[in-house]
Structure 1
Amino acid sequence: MPSDPQAAQAFKVKLQKETETSRRLALKALGGLTDVPVGLKSFLEPMGYAKLLGALCCNCTVVAYVSPVLQHILQVDGMQECPAKTSAVRALEPWIRALKPPETNISDDEAAGEDEERTISWIVDAGAEPLNFSTSLIPPFRGYAIFPRMALMNHSCRPSCGIEFDFSGRIFVLQQPYDHIKPGVELTISYLDSSLNAEEDHKAMGTTQRRNQLLPYGFNCDCGLLCKRFGSIQAPRTHANPSRRISDRKHIVRAWDYQP
């Protein structure tokens, strides 16, 4: 959401128009509201459809996957100096020299967590101009994925688990070092800023910021971190979904395939 009030209002209007366009297309594809089962009609009303889209947005995450071409170039760079490496670099040379910086228009959230730019320089022939390459010339593939099993985990301002992703297309739920997960204890994650991976960082977040980040999920957390400012410390509670429990203390609890 833009920080400027006028830009934020314009964004809301645009979002409402696009939501209504999407709803009408969905109705057209289904043959009209009269042909929709009674139990689904509320989801195709303007308000119900907007809430449905909002729920999907809350449970999806940006996915960036490194290009196989970039992986190949990095593998070539990692080879020991030998005729085979020289031959591979020469084969890449005309293609690399023709590369132009990509025109990117990504948000701060999408750019967060990406690998830092790396510059590589090769000497193809003695006395020739070095072949320079930057990893930023080949941006990662981007998309959005819904992690249905992760969406079943409740929120806690004192989460017992953290979320990590890897390039093999799997999601890992890891035990955080500041908490020991005992048998029968519910697995919880924080719906707040994913860059806050330590309990101290979560505590440092202000009450207003914390409430604003949880607002799109449709509930207000009433744990001590949110209520202490008002003099009413309550036991931490989790929200949103049925609980999931574990029966062991493995550091890596489980690896889950995602369904994009």
Structure 2
Amino acid sequence: MTGSGQRGAAVDSALRARDIDRAQASTVLDAAYAEGQLGAQEYHDRVSKANGSRTLGELARLVADLQSPAVFGGDTAAERPRRRAPERYPADTRARSADRAETVDALDTAHADGQLDADEHAALVELATEARTLGDLSTLVADLQQRPSAPSKPRIHPDRTRLVVIALAIATAIAGFVWTVRDDEPAPAASATVDYDAASPLVIPTPMLNTLAGFLQFRDDYRAGFGDTLVDEAVMHDEHASAV
């Protein structure tokens, strides 16, 4: 076994055991007893220990000397193609509500499959709801088999980065062009102030209404205002007239 495999086995041994893991260990012990690998007393002792085991390491030690296929791990991680791991946020990064919810879901699953008892589950859920950082949440589920994935930083594709740079350059050029055009535009002319006192007044004399010219002016104005010149009575004065 390689060094990396040994380290992986050491990490796996600290993981919490599920009810199905305990059942698998008991199945291996049953087969070993049926094949004569274990005596009756040793078999019962190991089954009792398997039912009370808390970690995968404890279960693995109970079946390590038996001629049975491995039932723990079995994951040839060294043979899988390696992928570039996404960049994770530091442990002191503040946790989101969604991160706390994922951690509580993982704790609920661990309680349902026997990794946690009721008291452990309640205590860890309370700590998860009050956790401030991603590191706090990670510690709460470090020994569980199903742990929520730590949030990773978003990665921008290089092509997208170039597009963003080009878009910013175009926007800057357009803004500069618009500013230049505005600078070239002539300034609006200032409103001229009119000096009314400088102009000679235009005096339009009002004709006397008791003259022919005044009477004709009155007639024309009356026709323009009322459409005809029919009146019952008209009284003419020098500067005004009344008609009924």
Q: Which has the higher helix share?
A: 2
Note whether the superposition's TM-score is higher than 0.5: no
Q: Report TM bin, short chain.
A: under 0.3
Query: Normalising to structure 2: TM-score of the pair?
Result: 0.21
Query: Normalising to structure 1: TM-score of the pair?
Result: 0.20
Of structures 1 and 2, the larger Rg is shown by 2
Q: Which has the higher strand share?
A: 1
